[in-house]
Structure 1
Amino acid sequence: MHQSNKHMHRWKWVLMAWPIAIILVSGMIYAVVQHRETLPVYGQLEEWNTSSVDTQFVSHYVFVDQQRQPVSLKSFPDKVLVVNFFFTRCPNVCPRMMHDLAEVVEQFKADDRVQFISLSVDPEYDTPEQLQHYASSLNLPTRHWALLTGDKGHIYRAAVVGFHVSASSGDGNIPDFIHTDKIMLVDPDGRIRGYYSGIVKREMDLLTQDIKKLEHE
């Protein structure tokens, strides 16, 4: 009787352990699949893979950051780029997008392989000084985050031609600035690998995952 109880007790533990083992194995398989999955390619930034110095190409446009430093999309060789469009006077979409993006930046603030770039669609107002004030007022982590201003035509062409997203200044009034809430993920070869809504939390979580995935491609 005693031996039978021991036998039953052993089988009870085996039966209890099986579901846990299945969950663990399934989790490991999922992690491997997720790690190996390749992100899609949505397009190539204009003239990225050439030695041309023609400044008329989107990838060569030179902007100015909040520190008055010249910056182009090619200023960060071998880095993963995360790019979006905003403006400091934006009353609705931008505050939410920039707040949520700041949380993503925080996760990569010590990672030199990732660079965040935010281009203002209101460059006449958004001077480098205004961008610096904006970053300071929101306590944005700017070590790897460049807030850019510059030639308006270049900024809007970068949006429409380079990243294939909408950008329009309407009649110039603040409510008429139209820009996308999309955040673009660009690999070190200048290929667009993802679009994410900057105002949807689950897409920002996906952005974080895909940055890590891209770093290991």
Structure 2
Amino acid sequence: MKFNRSILSAFLFGSIVFLASCQDQKKLPILGPREAATVKNADGSTSVDTVYKTIPAFSFLNQDSTLINNDTFKDKIYIADFFFTSCTTICPTMHRSMKTIFDKYKDNPDVMFLSHTIDFKYDHPSVLKKYAQKLGVDGPKWQFAYGSKDSIYKIAEKDYLVAVIEDSTAKEGYVHQGWLILIDKQKRIRGAYDGTNPEQVAQLTKDIPVLLAEDKK
């Protein structure tokens, strides 16, 4: 039941994001939980400001068995997803979509990509390395992250708001959603797109320059 609620929440979240992104706008929405906080101004007065949820500090091994963390993506926008290398259902489609965007922004130093494996049993860094090489993206711009089940599943569901589960009754042992999550330079969620849906992937492609333009204003 918990997983079903998570799926429903993520579905509604993604639908809202997609509809918002389709609007003719000059700035993308900031998504996820938020809270009001009292802040002290330079003149000594106080005011109420909105504090948005951000991706918390993390530390994973990448495809080169090197530790990556938040600093790896400092001053970058990035697209994150959750997958596993032996997946034959939605993952190949998701990563073909990601590869198309990667090719478009491969020379842009402000854009990166981060794929987290949910197969903690098999997808060790050496496996991720071969996967990245086969995909043609083996380099620092697209990071593939390996971590413990608890660390990966927690950050997926609690922070990126993506449902993932190990399920022995599933054909390939895992169930997960195919969202591509757009993260800004402040580590905030700015969009979620179904990586198997060409229209939503096209919207993501359109939203990236909108987000990049925010820093230039």
Sort the Cα spacing of 1:172 and 1:139 in 2 relative to 1 into closer, same or farther, 3 A. Answer: farther
Residue 73 (structure 2) aligns with: 76
| Residues 1:119 and 2:110 are matched in the alignment | no
**1:3-152 maps to which residues of 2 (within 5 A)?**
37-43=26-32, 59-140=56-137, 142-152=139-149
Name the one with the larger strand percent.
2
Correspondence for 1:29: none
**How well do the aligned residues superpose, as a CA RMSD in angstroms?**
2.2
Task: Tell me if the contact between 2:61 and 2:68 (Cα under 8 Å) persists in the aligned partners.
Answer: yes
Q: Secondary structure at the match of 1:168?
A: strand
Residue matched to 1:50: none
Partners of 2:198 and 2:174 lie apart in 1 by 24
8 Å Cα contact 1:105-1:141 kept in structure 2: no
Q: Match for residue 176 of structure 1?
A: 173
Q: Secondary structure at the match of 1:103?
A: helix
Q: Is the 8 A contact 2:55 2:187 kept in 1?
A: no
**Within 2, Cα distance between the matches of 1:207 and 1:75?**
22
Is there any run of 5+ residues in structure 2 with no aligned partner, and where? 1-22, 35-53
Q: How far did 1:76 drift? A: 1.4
Q: Residues 51-106 of structure 1, C-alpha deviation per residue, up to 9 Å, x if partnerless?
A: xxxxxx96222101111111124421111011000000101100111111101011
| Counterpart contact for 2:195–2:201, Cα < 8 Å | yes
Distance 2:208 2:198 in 1: 15
Partner of 1:199: 196
In our comparison, the structure showing a higher alpha carbon Rg is: 1
TM-score (norm 1): 0.74
Change in Cα spacing, 1:174 to 1:151, as seen in structure 2 (3 Å) is: farther
What is residue 161 of structure 2 aligned with on the other side? 164
Q: Distance in 1 between matches of 2:137 and 2:93?
A: 13
Residue 140 of structure 1 deviates from its aligned partner by 2.9
Gaps of 5+ in 1: 1-32, 46-56
Length-normalised TM-score, structure 2: 0.74
One-letter amino acid of the structure 2 residue matched with residue 147 of structure 1: F
Matches of 1:125 and 1:172, distance apart in 2: 18
Alpha-carbon separation, structure 2, partners of 1:117 and 1:90: 17
Task: Give 1:141 deviation, angstroms.
Answer: 5.6
Give the alignment partner of residue 153 of structure 1, picking from 150, 154, 162. Answer: 150
Aligned-partner Cα distance in 1 for 2:209–2:63: 27
1:190 aligned partner: 187
